[in-house]
Copies of this chain bind each other. A is one copy, B any other.
Amino acid sequence: MICVLAGGVGAARLLTGLVRIVAPGDITVIVNVGDDIVIHGLHISPDLDTITYTLADQVDPERGWGLRDETWRAMDMVARYGGIDWFNLGDRDLGTHLYRTQRLTEGAPLSVVTAEIARAWDLGLTLLPVTDDPLRTRVTVVDPDAEREVGFQEWFVQRRHAVPVTAIRVVGAAEASPAPGVLDALAEAEAVLIAPSNPLVSIGPLLAVTEVADAVRAGRDRTVAVSPLVAGAALKGPADRLMADLGHDPSVTGVARLYRELAATLVIDEADATLAGTVEAEGMAAVVTRTVMTDPYVAAELSRTALASVGIETAS
């Protein structure tokens, strides 16, 4: 069984490749819920939904999130009332949030609801929120004169992650227990893949749950991370600026410093081949390959290379 630590878009792309080389039934994905938000009374799980919609081949290809063939009639009405309209929710997408919220209200844990939604889309693989407990990433931003702590989505969507960040905090991490199946998956996995998601705000909240971080560290030899940075830049999202803001080197070297206790190997892009030596100097094996997932075939080859680096051979 292969276990994947996942954020949103980057992880979803990698998974479109992984399911081509590993049977979905042998894949367990542990997903960030630190950027979940309750808005309009609805529980939204953006990373879970991005992965679900992507693997169901329903994601909007332009936006990279939400559903294709979407309409925005409910949000148009919210705007008419002068309501909160910076967090855009499509009409079809709303159905997912209505269902999730109703089930949570009935007392179903998020992991159970997540499995129900994954089943409705015939995903085949196991999708687990890292925890059923509330976990909320909060970001201290300079806004614009004074520092102010806001919720993840207030930074990411409302401010379009265009303001300097001085701190990140994962509220609820100390009290959160791993969701059922998370520790078993980490313990039993032949390999653990850390997806090319933002290390600080996508993978970070998973590791903020102490038992999860301990379990990943215990399997360091069979854990391989894929760098989300290519030539010092994030392909999508603010990982590069965020790392710089918070004093990390925004490069594969900086990524290696964040991951070296967790993973034996870092997969880096060909564009960063000259940095392989510094990655190894940080204590990780460096594997150089193509990491820009322009299509699922590249994602499949990237997955194959990552798995091979920890000794898992897959048929081509």
Residues on A lying within 8 angstroms of B by beta carbon are 38-43, 71, 73-78, 80-84, 91-96, 98-99, 101-105, 116-117, 120
Query: Do A105 and B73 contact each other (CB < 8 Å), given the known contacts A81-B96, A83-B98, A96-B81?
Result: no
Query: Do A41 and B43 contact each other (CB < 8 Å), given the known contacts A74-B74, A77-B99, A95-B80?
Result: yes
A83 is contacted by which of B71, B73, B77, B102 (Cβ under 8 Å)?
B102
User: How far, in angstroms, from A80 to B40 measured CA to CA in the complex?
Assistant: 22
Add 11 more A-B contacts to A41-B41, A41-B101, A83-B98 (CB < 8 A). Answer: A40-B98, A41-B43, A41-B105, A42-B98, A71-B91, A76-B92, A77-B94, A77-B95, A78-B95, A81-B120, A83-B103
User: How far, in angstroms, from A74 to B100 measured CA to CA in the complex?
Assistant: 13
Is the pair B95, A73 in contact by a Cβ cutoff of 8 Å?
Answer: yes
* Chain B residues, Cβ within 8 Å of A42: 40-42, 98, 101
Closest CB in chain B relative to A159 CB, distance in Å: 19
Is the pair B105, A81 in contact by a Cβ cutoff of 8 Å?
Answer: no
Is the pair B75, A95 in contact by a Cβ cutoff of 8 Å?
Answer: yes
A74 is contacted by which of B77, B94, B117 (Cβ under 8 Å)?
B94
* Chain B residues, Cβ within 8 Å of A76: 92, 95
Q: Interface residues of A: mostly helix, strand, loop or mixed? A: helix
Is the pair B102, A39 in contact by a Cβ cutoff of 8 Å?
Answer: yes
CB closest chain-B residue, reference A105: B41
User: How far, in angstroms, from A92 to B39 measured CA to CA in the complex?
Assistant: 17
Is the pair B83, A99 in contact by a Cβ cutoff of 8 Å?
Answer: yes
* Chain B residues, Cβ within 8 Å of A102: 39-41, 83-84
Is the pair B78, A98 in contact by a Cβ cutoff of 8 Å?
Answer: yes
Closest CB in chain B relative to A76 CB, distance in Å: 7
Closest CB in chain B relative to A6 CB, distance in Å: 22
User: How far, in angstroms, from A101 to B39 measured CA to CA in the complex?
Assistant: 9
Closest CB in chain B relative to A296 CB, distance in Å: 24
Is the pair A73, B75 in contact by a Cβ cutoff of 8 Å?
Answer: no
Is the pair A78, B92 in contact by a Cβ cutoff of 8 Å?
Answer: no
The 7 A-B pairs of least Cβ separation, nearest first, read A77-B95, A41-B101, A40-B98, A83-B99, A74-B94, A81-B99, A91-B91
* Chain B residues, Cβ within 8 Å of A101: 40-42
30 A-B residue pairs with Cβ-Cβ distance under 8 Å, sorted by A, are: A38-B105, A39-B102, A40-B42, A40-B98, A40-B99, A40-B101, A40-B102, A41-B42, A41-B98, A41-B102, A41-B105, A42-B98, A71-B73, A71-B91, A73-B91, A73-B95, A74-B92, A75-B95, A76-B95, A77-B93, A77-B94, A77-B95, A78-B95, A78-B99, A80-B95, A82-B116, A83-B102, A83-B103, A84-B102, A91-B94
